[in-house]
Chain A
Amino acid sequence: MPADRPLTGREATLAIARIAVTRAPRSWALWVVLALASLPVAYARLILGSGPPGAGLWRDVFSFGLRLLWVVPTTMVAGAIGDELTDRHRSYLWSRPLPRWSILTGKLLASAPLAFAVLAGGLAAAFALARSPALEDPGLVLARSLGAIALGVIAVGAVATAMATLQPRFATALAIGYMGFVDFPLGEMPAALRQLSIQYQVRQVAAVDQYPGSTVTALIALAVITAVAAAVALARVRRFE
């Protein structure tokens, strides 16, 4: 059954994604993040236990859930890509006739939607508990929140991919560290530096930040952060030996 021709980038991306999807339910990472995704529900229950839902409850729960951006996409993306860039996996993958970038895009294609589904599931369940009767259009609030999370997952996925190409063996730790110790403090800064924070921009898109800003600016900022991280990852993977 000889190989007819090398795979195109699109074919290779889909083949890598298919393998990643087959492997995902058999690895520990998915079960850990599924457990973590239930935390917003637990948090909402905890707050509801102390009184009726107020107008700001969803903002609190969403902000809490946003912390999962530190862990869920980073674990799923950085871990998966970092693995493929270790000597062991690279020996098998890179001796195949594939465009190298397809390994990154294939992994992202499989893990980013999965990370979003996990986070969205947890937040939607928490929303069902925590939504206040005072909310005018709950459907729109939830849709905006989940849209913001989707963009956040893409941006964090790109950053995690870049981290994985910089240091494959410690990719997950590095990506979580970045989100917790760089991105989070940046987002809390009052100065213009917070524009560089993914978490700040996601709050803006979701319209839950206590100091509302421009959604368009937030969208552009997320696009720029994603593009820069993706450029770093692609440049690194091209030079990787």
Chain B
Amino acid sequence: MSEATPIIRAERCSKWYGHILGVSDVSWTCRGGIVGLLGPNGAGKSTLMKMVAGLLAPSRGQLEVFGAPPFTSADVRRRVGYSPEHPPPWDELTAQELVAAMARLAGVPAPRCAKAAADALEAVGLSAAAHRRVRGFSQGMRQRTKLATAIAHEPDLLLLDEPLTGVDPVARADILERIRGLAAAGKTVVVSSHVLYEIESLTTDILVVYRGQVLAEGNVYEIRRLIDRHPHRIRVECDRPRELARVLTGAEHVVQLHFERGAVVVETRDPDRCYDEINAAVIDASVDVRALTSPDNNLGAVFEYLTGGPRAG
């Protein structure tokens, strides 16, 4: 594989399950780092991941991972660590036994599997529970076990399908930190989620998947440019939101105003002018502003726009 070969290259990939469309005409190139696959449940994220992991063959189009098709190339699958959405298998085994078995099946030489498993469990913070059966684990511990099975053979590409599902906030923060650590160690990590802030807290490099199609790809700010035709939102948290709204009502660039608890949200086609007018109103009407944010910098807003959600223009 040459330096220029992308880690993942999908060209017009489609996958049908009988008559049901899994993904449609997906073209995507991944060159490394952390990539977030973002989309609601049933959008096609898992299907895309399964194709990259070599579980499914594309019905149409081309998919290459490290320059070869993963469905037919065992050598490619050896370099991929996949943590599926499903709970770990064989939960009668202890975490140590399970991770060692998975490492062996991934090609780690038998005498080195126990050490590989112990290292992986340590990396995900499960050393203390290594000799307990997975059946008795909490949801958070199971997610960590899944992560350990995915990293035990030291793959170059990690595919993590909804790695934070059902995890409590403390474990969530810890798992996110560990995923960042893996990327810092040079691994390419593809993480899927339907929860916007999970992806946002990991990366700005995202792929928005919806109804089996890639709706947008790239940096969140690039994606924001794609949706420039949509109004920009500014949320002003203040003591008298109705007074501020009264001042802004009637401005030509203001598309819509609505109230949230202790705040007014302005949708405008001219953000710069709107910021100036808010400043002026704050001074003229003596409104005490506590916070001023642009929800459009949040992936949530981008996602809503792209999927034609409630805030789409």
Complex alpha-carbon distance, A3 and B153, angstroms? 5
Stretch of B109-117, B195-203, B301-309 on the interface side = B109-117
Q: Assess whether B92 is in contact with A26, with CB atoms less than 8 Å apart.
A: yes
Q: Does A217 reach chain B (CB closer than 8 Å)?
A: no
Report yes or no: B89 in contact with A97, Cβ–Cβ below 8 A.
Answer: no
Asked if B168 is at the interface of the complex by the 8 Å CB criterion, the answer is no
Cross-chain contact B92 with A27 (CB below 8 angstroms):
yes
B contact residues, total (Cβ < 8 Å): 44
- Segment 142-200 of B: residues with Cβ below 8 Å from A: 149, 152-155
Contact of A6 among B74, B102, B133 (CB under 8 A): B74
Query: Chain A, 61-89, contact with B by CB distance < 8 Å: what is the 0/1 string?
Result: 00000000000000000000001100111
Q: Determine whether the beta carbon of A19 is less than 8 Å from that of B101.
A: yes
Q: How far is the CB of A79 from chain B (nearest CB, A)?
A: 13
Interface size class on chain A is 20 to 34
- Write 26 A-B pairs (CB below 8 A) sorted by A numbering: A1-B103, A2-B108, A2-B153, A2-B154, A3-B103, A3-B107, A3-B153, A3-B154, A5-B75, A16-B105, A19-B93, A26-B93, A26-B133, A84-B89, A87-B86, A89-B89, A91-B50, A92-B89, A94-B55, A95-B50, A95-B53, A95-B84, A96-B105, A97-B75, A97-B78, A98-B105
Q: How far is the CA of A4 from the CA of B78 in the complex (A)?
A: 8
Given the complex of chains A and B, what is the CA–CA distance between A96 and B110 in angstroms? 15
Q: Which residues of A contact B79 (CB under 8 A)?
A: 3
Question: Which residues of chain B have C-beta atoms less than 8 A from A3's C-beta?
Answer: 78-79, 103, 106-108, 153-155
Instruction: Give Cα A2 to B186, complex, Å.
Output: 14
Given contacts A1-B103, A1-B152, 13 further A-B contacts (CB under 8 A): A1-B113, A3-B153, A5-B75, A5-B78, A6-B75, A22-B93, A26-B93, A88-B87, A91-B82, A95-B53, A96-B102, A96-B107, A97-B78
Contact of B107 among A6, A23, A26, A88 (CB under 8 A): A6
Residue of A nearest to B120 (CB): A1
Please report which residues of chain B, range 116-155, place their CB below 8 angstroms from some CB of chain A when the two chains form the complex: 116, 119, 133, 149, 152-155
Whether, in the assembled complex, A7 has its beta carbon less than 8 Å from a beta carbon of chain B, the answer is: yes
Residues of B within 8 Å of A221, CB to CB, are none
Q: Which residue of A lies closest to B52 (CB)?
A: A95
* B120 CB to nearest chain A CB (Å): 8
Instruction: Choose one: A16, A88, A97; the contact of B77 (CB below 8 Å).
Output: A97
